[in-house]
A and B are shown apart, each in its own frame.
Chain A
């Protein structure tokens, strides 16, 4: 209707009327739909925890965490582990390696040790580096996926600064990661007696993820591996070319070499250990490593003293959740204890508040 009903002539009123009729037809279409979502009336659950629920959750979670923590700690203690840091033991070799001119000289170093208790079950041998930054941004990027997949051995475009040699020949495998590959050889010998030195049988393969071995790393599909690497050069720090990493086993040679693949999976932190060998459980070693005297014979190639790093070799068994990790067990235990304590505190506070309220009401 108009503002001034009184002075609008009839003609106008008629027009209004027709307008209103029209509007009435619009009426239904202009009226907002009465759906739950449009009217913000969606059936919903209002999340509101009662005190009891909160206490229950706290206690339950606390108990759970505590239990897990204890279990983790117990299993961590069950793990048998020997770590031998050979940075200082092989000082001479280390010094020699510091001089780049000696790169083709061999240097071995043997480290005797005594295993007091038999290491039961599967035993794994790791090498561990301290202070080696495998997580530097440029380092991590410096690799060629295309090359490693065997697609194009000459594809070195992401590999700066180890793309090509000074003669412009592409490097295979290119890049900083490959170039810096850990190349010590560690041989474990079991000394049954002073005369009987048995080299502990170790498996070179099965050290990698399935996807790494079968998807990420592929040799070029040539029967003769070396043919395919024609026109490429080995990385500057390497002693032998890629196709000679394991000449005895073609399935473990070239890019498919397990040690190479393990190295290429870069570590998250500057201190890391990588799987080196697995115990081949035959003969004396079918139950694991028996107690006794052993030696590590290490051909020392990888220089660490340059960057004040250290290296160690580790023998370890496993439990249900992998390697030993006291941290996780401790963290769980602490969290559990904290949860219990805080739930008691909360209960106390809540009780106090209730009393206060009651006294207020009175």
Chain B
């Protein structure tokens, strides 16, 4: 709260390093995080205040106050206070436990240790005690504690690598770069402690990719940008240590600024319930007015004459005033139409459902020992109403593990398994994998299931060798040997990691590199190539090349890149191979694999020298430098010889395809929102069947300006409607007929499947207010929407857009901190747990370890929750109308004197004791169809989306049912009592007997009704239903007993009533008739409905009855994917700039000596840049001499 106030004041931030006193002046937030709401002292007042802010609680408090006014009190105080205290206590206990866990998680984060320089010494300090201006030391793989200005690091030039997955979801490493002046400080604690630079920078904000500031130190000023900043939530990678100065701490960090506010989420049923409660209030007031008018008239006509006789002769009490008092009295009596126990019961039911989610073994992931967890217990039924799912990609749909799956070398596919029927088979772990153990350096985790490639290598196929050599040479991977002498690759993009590792496993081991050389081990022999040029990757070129000279002196250019680009650069002689390879590529693409084309070119020395000279000129040139360079790149990367293609699998999480298929059958639309590149995102779309080749069209929106985007959207829409019209009688209709039949309510009359792919920067324009509608309209007509390169904020904006304009229930699922805003803004946020970061899980409402559990969460738990909640609400409203409205009818026979029909105790206990448990049992345990059925038949999910089970219409039906029952309940006993005497001639038509008869009838009628409503009778239901009736009778007899009367004669004046009344046959006849008369019409109505308008679950139950002996249905298999695609499967998670880093040698640290001399490996911590250089040169010499030795 107060930090936002401060933010208003803070225009710029001035931080002085190592000077806490100075910084304290500004009162910057420290690094402590608060997400909890209360502490022990403030809990009671704040919590009570919050609770009474709820309309319902306030209403009951108001009623309680009304009851204390003797003139209008028509019920004793305990009828309201008992339930109210119960409710308030239960809620308070729940809030307290919630807050306790928040405290715990805060404490856990706040107490993480970090190393801070205090008093010129490196000291361990808790995160929460880190202050702005402190200098913090970070170690490899540590979470960054606050937003830091990078001062120095273990790497040369003050470089450090960070993984920002928690922030933006991108998994490739990013480089951060300290100022050269500060990087000289190194790890010298005393110098760092003396560092007293002053940073003047912008105020805290949520822009992840922008930072502006100035560092003033030693009389000079240095400008700071985002490259110098490490943000909280990042993880330090591949850097053994680094020092940073805290700029923003705690709530001011960009991570926390980006996490968005926690919104109090309500379900749509909650909102509907609130509306209905308001209506009921209105209804209540109407009843009150009617009765008050009745009272005035009665007082005028009849009561006036009674006064002298029955009451005092009080002239001043006019009939109008009496009516006014009666109004309030009746408001009190009839308050039970809005039962306070409704809210408690709803909470209890939701809590029960949440526990079922926690307990579900089918959502327990044994791999990480993570059970599913319902972190919010108030949203369960909304899980049964989801229409849109927004899913993150990395870590959610995919495992973020790249594996080299297949390759095509010289027109032959490797890596495919053919079985007897010549059909491609899913590679399973059971299949014996190629034995790599021969090679000592092979990575244990790698598996490829094709022996033919190994054979080709052994046979010495030159093309295969060249292919693998290329993989080992053309990349930006850095190698490093760890203490155990194992070769570790530091990869900037996981794709490259997969490729280099694959080459390594096939015997082409990338060993080490210097700015000028690359050393690889080719089938056991070390070969050092001279790196002549590095033609870096960028998003336009979509390829990267290296030009190397092998020891034999040949110059070769190796290139890998997008097939579409590379194929244009090929030498004409490649035509045959090209068509073959492109077929293979299509096949790979069809399987959702990420492909790269691989080609090489032999260069003659002279040509290269000329070209190189031109390149140097271009580099030196001042104007048009970039253009000239790219021209030169184009020139040399021509006439390539195609080698083949690689296919990397971005491994999907288990069961993603089945889940996606089943959820789409349930008419849930799935949107992918990812920070990844367009190609990657599309690829995953294909891989998990969200995009298919059967789709009529895939619209790609990637415009950079608002005008372009608008134009693209317009075109897409035209296209869609145009195609639609042209296809209206075509074959597409028949193809999609089944689909259409399934979802009877097709949103618009669009046939055919469309998909929309939209880029982050286009999205920024498309989210502008005037285009928004177009975007939404288009997106909603599409079956699949993929948004790529979106920022966390945009993710949230997209969710908000759909939420706001479609009025649909949305669910967001993700695993990283970049999904937090989306998770928070969606109706329901789901976090993938068991990952490294916890932010997503902490922000989420539900969490589990695997995407596939979403299917069970929605189709089983969500559906049941919705179904149960609706049933519960219907019954509850019915019950309370039946219970309460008899007072209204009775009003006409008791001079509107606010006389209750029942005993006060019965009114107190009816909702909380006599009838609460059976309906709770139904609300918690009921099942209309089994979980297997709802998984097998996703269409069962649709009633929830369409709000069919509880809506205003249903509510009116329930109310009508309640009113009918109250009529029966009142008028049958009324008619019977009119002229009745008991079996012993004594009169039984007294008020108390009438009350007992009514109460008993009511309890029995509502019990029979719940018995009919309960469709799944477990032991618990039996116990609760019969138990409730038994409890009613035992309490009744206890309260009407002599003993209790003698102690409390005023509270229990009904002594002997139960015994006398229930001894009479005619009372039982009345109860029986009342029950029959109120239940039979309901049965009739339901029977008719079931026969005339059967619901899907009815049909399934019938079908099940018919097929009882038949085997359970087999689970739906994923659709077999067609590989007829002609699209490119290219996608490559790579960034520009690494080529330059490599050729400049900036990111090189000392190269480890060969594994044999593995003792001197601890030196890099303190080596300086110069030492590095020296080592490097000697190493190069060494390796060259070694090479020569080999060759000789």
Q: Name A residues whose Cβ lies closer than 8 Å to a Cβ of B.
A: 2-12, 23-24, 26-27, 30-34, 37-40, 42-48, 54, 57-58, 61, 65, 68, 72, 122, 124, 126, 131, 133-140, 145-146, 149, 151, 158, 161, 176, 180, 207-212, 215-216, 262, 265-275, 278, 303, 306-308, 316, 318, 320-325, 327-328, 331-332, 335, 338-339, 342, 346, 349-350, 353
B residues 957-1007 touching A (CB-CB < 8 Å): 972, 974-995
Q: Which residue of A lies closest to B983 (CB)?
A: A322
Q: Which residues of A contact B1064 (CB under 8 A)?
A: 321-322
CA distance A43 to B1017 in the complex (A): 8
A136 touches B369 (CB 8 A): no
Select the residue from A133, A140, A161, A332 with max chain B CB neighbours within 10 A. Answer: A133
B residues 653-708 touching A (CB-CB < 8 Å): none
A265 touches B990 (CB 8 A): yes
Tell me whether B360 is interfacial, beta carbon within 8 Å: yes
CA distance A136 to B1113 in the complex (A): 65
Q: Which residues of B contact A11 (CB under 8 A)?
A: 482-483
Tell me whether B243 is interfacial, beta carbon within 8 Å: no
A137-B894, A322-B982 as given contacts; A10 in contact with B359, CB under 8 Å: no
A328 touches B1069 (CB 8 A): yes
CA distance A325 to B975 in the complex (A): 9
Sorted nearest first, the 5 A-B pairs with minimum C-beta distance are A211-B1056, A323-B981, A145-B1049, A268-B994, A38-B359
A-B contact pairs, 28 of them (CB 8 A): A6-B490, A6-B491, A7-B237, A7-B497, A9-B140, A12-B140, A26-B369, A30-B364, A40-B356, A61-B1080, A124-B981, A133-B895, A136-B894, A136-B895, A137-B898, A176-B311, A180-B309, A211-B1042, A215-B1046, A265-B990, A268-B989, A268-B990, A268-B994, A275-B981, A275-B987, A324-B979, A338-B1080, A339-B1076
Tell me whether B26 is interfacial, beta carbon within 8 Å: no
B400 touches A3 (CB 8 A): yes
A290 CB, nearest partner CB in chain B, Å: 19
CA distance A307 to B717 in the complex (A): 80
B899 touches A135 (CB 8 A): yes
Select the residue from B893, B976, B980, B1083 with max chain A CB neighbours within 10 A. Answer: B980
B residues 330-385 touching A (CB-CB < 8 Å): 355-356, 358-361, 364, 366, 368-371
Tell me whether B1053 is interfacial, beta carbon within 8 Å: yes
B989 CB, nearest partner CB in chain A, Å: 6
A202 CB, nearest partner CB in chain B, Å: 12
A222 CB, nearest partner CB in chain B, Å: 19
Q: Which residues of B contact A68 (CB under 8 A)?
A: 1069
Select the residue from B141, B312, B329 with max chain A CB neighbours within 10 A. Answer: B141
A316 touches B981 (CB 8 A): yes
B302 touches A33 (CB 8 A): no
Select the residue from B173, B237, B311, B1064 with max chain A CB neighbours within 10 A. Answer: B311
Tell me whether B1 is interfacial, beta carbon within 8 Å: no
A32-B361, A269-B893 as given contacts; A47 in contact with B370, CB under 8 Å: no
Tell me whether B486 is interfacial, beta carbon within 8 Å: yes
Q: Which residues of A contact B488 (CB under 8 A)?
A: 6-7, 9-10
CA distance A31 to B359 in the complex (A): 8
5 further interface pairs, Cβ-Cβ under 8 Å (given A30-B364, A30-B371, A139-B311)? A161-B311, A211-B1059, A262-B986, A321-B1069, A327-B978
Q: Which residue of B lies closest to A162 (CB)?
A: B312
A145 touches B1050 (CB 8 A): yes
CA distance A280 to B1174 in the complex (A): 133
Residue of B171, B1015, B1077 touching A46 (CB-CB under 8 A): B1015
CA distance A342 to B312 in the complex (A): 54
A138 touches B897 (CB 8 A): yes
A134-B991, A267-B990, A272-B989 as given contacts; A321 in contact with B371, CB under 8 Å: no
Q: Which residue of B lies closest to A274 (CB)?
A: B987
A44 touches B310 (CB 8 A): no
Select the residue from B311, B329, B987, B988 with max chain A CB neighbours within 10 A. Answer: B987
CA distance A180 to B309 in the complex (A): 7
Residue of A4, A54, A137 touching B163 (CB-CB under 8 A): A4
B residues 391-406 touching A (CB-CB < 8 Å): 395, 400-401
Q: Which residue of B lies closest to A213 (CB)?
A: B1056
A24 touches B369 (CB 8 A): yes
Q: Which residue of B lies closest to A264 (CB)?
A: B990
CA distance A352 to B862 in the complex (A): 37
Q: Which residue of A lies closest to B484 (CB)?
A: A10
B977 touches A269 (CB 8 A): yes
Tell me whether B74 is interfacial, beta carbon within 8 Å: yes
A151 CB, nearest partner CB in chain B, Å: 8
A269-B977, A335-B1077, A349-B1088 as given contacts; A318 in contact with B991, CB under 8 Å: no
B482 touches A9 (CB 8 A): yes
Tell me whether B165 is interfacial, beta carbon within 8 Å: yes
Q: Which residue of A lies closest to B890 (CB)?
A: A135
A219 CB, nearest partner CB in chain B, Å: 15
A265-B990, A322-B988 as given contacts; A210 in contact with B1056, CB under 8 Å: yes
CA distance A39 to B930 in the complex (A): 12
A140 touches B991 (CB 8 A): yes
A180 CB, nearest partner CB in chain B, Å: 6
B364 touches A32 (CB 8 A): yes
A327 touches B835 (CB 8 A): no
CA distance A136 to B890 in the complex (A): 11
CA distance A65 to B976 in the complex (A): 15
Q: Which residues of B contact A139 (CB under 8 A)?
A: 310-311, 897
Q: Which residues of B contact A268 (CB under 8 A)?
A: 977, 989-991, 993-995
Contact with A along B278-306 (1 / 0, CB 8 A): 00000000000000000000000010011
CA distance A53 to B238 in the complex (A): 74
A133-B306, A146-B1049, A307-B306 as given contacts; A7 in contact with B1070, CB under 8 Å: no
Contact with A along B1013-1042 (1 / 0, CB 8 A): 011111111000000000000000000001
Q: Which residues of A contact B864 (CB under 8 A)?
A: 40
Tell me whether B1084 is interfacial, beta carbon within 8 Å: yes
CA distance A348 to B74 in the complex (A): 51
Q: Which residues of A contact B494 (CB under 8 A)?
A: 4, 6
CA distance A306 to B1056 in the complex (A): 35
Tell me whether B925 is interfacial, beta carbon within 8 Å: yes
Q: Which residue of A lies closest to B489 (CB)?
A: A6
Contact with A along B394-430 (1 / 0, CB 8 A): 0100001100000000000000000000000000000
A42 touches B1020 (CB 8 A): yes
Q: Which residue of B lies closest to A61 (CB)?
A: B1076
A269-B893, A307-B306 as given contacts; A54 in contact with B1083, CB under 8 Å: yes
CA distance A346 to B1080 in the complex (A): 12
Select the residue from A4, A33, A176, A275 with max chain B CB neighbours within 10 A. Answer: A4
B1069 touches A140 (CB 8 A): no
Q: Which residues of A contact B744 (CB under 8 A)?
A: none
B1073 touches A209 (CB 8 A): no
Tell me whether B931 is interfacial, beta carbon within 8 Å: yes
Q: Which residue of B lies closest to A352 (CB)?
A: B1091
Tell me whether B1060 is interfacial, beta carbon within 8 Å: yes
Tell me whether B176 is interfacial, beta carbon within 8 Å: no
CA distance A149 to B1045 in the complex (A): 10
Tell me whether B54 is interfacial, beta carbon within 8 Å: no
CA distance A26 to B364 in the complex (A): 13
CA distance A324 to B266 in the complex (A): 57
Q: Which residue of B lies closest to A149 (CB)?
A: B1049
Tell me whether B1012 is interfacial, beta carbon within 8 Å: yes
B1010 CB, nearest partner CB in chain A, Å: 11
CA distance A271 to B985 in the complex (A): 17
Tell me whether B1125 is interfacial, beta carbon within 8 Å: no
Q: Which residues of B contact A273 (CB under 8 A)?
A: 979, 981, 987, 989
CA distance A171 to B1020 in the complex (A): 55
Q: Which residues of B contact A306 (CB under 8 A)?
A: 305, 308-309
A81 CB, nearest partner CB in chain B, Å: 9
Q: Which residues of B contact A331 (CB under 8 A)?
A: 972, 975-976, 1073, 1077
A47 touches B1017 (CB 8 A): yes
CA distance A207 to B987 in the complex (A): 9
A342 touches B1084 (CB 8 A): yes
